[in-house]
Amino acid sequence: MTTETTKLKMKVWFALAALGLAAFLATTGGRALAARWLRSLRVQKVQAVNVDLTAFSDPNANPALHQMVAAMISDKVNITANEKDQPADDAAAAGRLAGFQVRLLKARKDAPKLVVTGQHAVRVNVDRARLQEIIKAAGHPEIVLPDSIEGSAFTVQLPRMVHARYGNCPTPVTATNAIASQVIETPSSGTEYADCIRLNEGPSPIVGVPAGLDIAKLAEIGLQVAGMTPSQADDFFHTVDWKSTLTLSVPRRLRSFEQVKIAGVPGTLLTLSGRRGPGYTLLWAKDGITYALIGYGDASRAVALGDSLQ
Amino acid sequence: MAGITFREAARKRILWTALIAGAGFLMVFGVGLHLQIADFRASTPAFVRYQILSGMLMVGLYTVDLLAVVMTILTCVDTLAGEISSGTIQAIAMKPMGRWQILIGKWLGFAGMLAVYVTMMFGGTIAVVQSVAGMTPQHPLRGALLVFLECLIALSVCFMFGTWFSTLTNGVIVLGLHGLAFMGGWLEQMSGFTEGERLSLAGTVVSLLMPTEAVWRRAAFEMESPLAGSLPQFAIFSDVSLPSPAMIGYAVFYLVIVLSVAIYHFQQRDL
The pLDDT tens digits for A235-256 are 777 766 666 666 665 555 666 7
Please give the Cα distance from A292 to A283 (Å, whole number).
Answer: 5
Task: Please indicate, yes or no, whether residues A129 and A222 belong to a single structural domain of this protein.
Answer: yes
Task: Please indicate, yes or no, whether residues A31 and A73 belong to a single structural domain of this protein.
Answer: no
Interface size A-B, in CB pairs within 8 Å, comes to: 91
Q: What is the mean pLDDT of chain A?
A: 76
| Residue A77 belongs to some domain of the structure | yes
| Model confidence pLDDT, tens digit, residues B143-160 | 999 999 999 999 999 999
Closest CA–CA distance from residue B196 to any residue of chain A (Å): 10
Distance, C-alpha B244 to centroid of its chain = 18
User: What are the two backbone dihedrals, phi and then psi, of residue A200, each rounded to the nearest 5 degrees?
Assistant: -115, 130
Q: Residues with Cβ < 8 Å from A190, sequence gap 6 or more?
A: none
Long-range contacts of B28-34 (CB under 8 A, 24+ apart): B29/B60, B29/B63, B29/B125, B29/B128, B30/B128, B30/B132, B32/B56, B33/B60, B33/B128, B33/B129, B33/B132, B33/B133, B34/B132
Say how many domains are in chain A. 2
Residue B67 carries which DSSP code?
Answer: H
ipTM over 0.85: no
Task: Please indicate, yes or no, whether residues A98 and A247 belong to a single structural domain of this protein.
Answer: yes
| A28, pLDDT greater than 70 | yes
Task: Please indicate, yes or no, whether residues A238 and A269 belong to a single structural domain of this protein.
Answer: yes
B43 in A contact zone (CB under 8 Å):
yes
Residues of chain A contacting residue B234, judged by C-beta atoms under 8 Å apart: 225
Please give the Cα distance from A87 to A54 (Å, whole number).
Answer: 13
Chain A residue closest to B207 (CA)?
A41
Task: Please indicate, yes or no, whether residues A266 and A185 belong to a single structural domain of this protein.
Answer: yes
Task: Please indicate, yes or no, whether residues A147 and A20 belong to a single structural domain of this protein.
Answer: no
Residues of chain B contacting residue A41, judged by C-beta atoms under 8 Å apart: 204, 207-208, 214, 243-244, 246-247, 250
What is the CB neighbour count within 10 angstroms for residue B74? Answer: 15
Interface of A to B at Cβ within 8 Å reads 3, 6-7, 38, 40-45, 62, 68, 71-72, 75, 127, 130, 133-134, 136-140, 175-176, 179, 221, 224-225, 229-230
- Return the bridge partners of A166, or none: A197
B213 in A contact zone (CB under 8 Å):
no
Q: Does residue B139 or residue A193 have the better pLDDT?
A: B139
Please give the Cα distance from B52 to A133 (Å, whole number).
Answer: 15
Out of B45, B194, B243, closest to residue A179 by CB = B194
| B172, pLDDT greater than 60 | yes
Residues of chain A contacting residue B253, judged by C-beta atoms under 8 Å apart: none
Average pLDDT over residues B77-82: 85
Residue B199: per-residue pLDDT: 84
Residue A261: per-residue pLDDT: 87
Task: Please indicate, yes or no, whether residues A137 and A109 belong to a single structural domain of this protein.
Answer: yes
Task: Give the residue extent of every domain in chain B.
Answer: 2-268
Task: Please indicate, yes or no, whether residues A154 and A185 belong to a single structural domain of this protein.
Answer: yes
Chain B residue closest to A252 (CA)?
B233
Instruction: Please give the span between the terminal C-alpha atoms of chain A, in angstroms, as a whole number.
Output: 96
Confidence bin at B108 (pLDDT 50/70/90): very high
What is the CB neighbour count within 10 angstroms for residue B126? Answer: 21
Task: Please indicate, yes or no, whether residues A26 and A76 belong to a single structural domain of this protein.
Answer: no
With H, G, I as helix, E, B as strand and everything else as coil, classify residue A287: coil
Q: Which of A9-18, A294-303, B228-237 bottoms out in mean pLDDT, i.e. has the lowest?
A: B228-237
Task: Please indicate, yes or no, whether residues A95 and A25 belong to a single structural domain of this protein.
Answer: no
Please give the Cα distance from B247 to B242 (Å, whole number).
Answer: 10
Q: Does residue A182 or residue B244 have the better pLDDT?
A: B244
Task: Please indicate, yes or no, whether residues A206 and A97 belong to a single structural domain of this protein.
Answer: yes
Residues of chain A contacting residue B195, judged by C-beta atoms under 8 Å apart: 175
| Model confidence pLDDT, tens digit, residues B23-77 | 899 999 999 999 988 888 777 777 678 778 888 898 999 999 999 999 899 888 8
Out of A40, A42, A229, closest to residue B241 by CB = A42
Task: Report CA-CA distances (Å) from A173 to A160, A178, B196, B234.
Answer: 21, 6, 16, 21
Q: Residues with Cβ < 8 Å from A308, sequence gap 6 or more?
A: A105, A106, A107, A108
Task: Please indicate, yes or no, whether residues A88 and A186 belong to a single structural domain of this protein.
Answer: yes
Question: Which domain, by its residues, includes A27?
Answer: 2-40
B253 in A contact zone (CB under 8 Å):
no
Residue A176: per-residue pLDDT: 44
B227 in A contact zone (CB under 8 Å):
yes
With H, G, I as helix, E, B as strand and everything else as coil, classify residue A246: coil
Question: Is the dihedral angle over the CA atoms A44, A45, A50, A53 positive or is it negative?
Answer: negative
Chain A residue closest to B246 (CA)?
A41
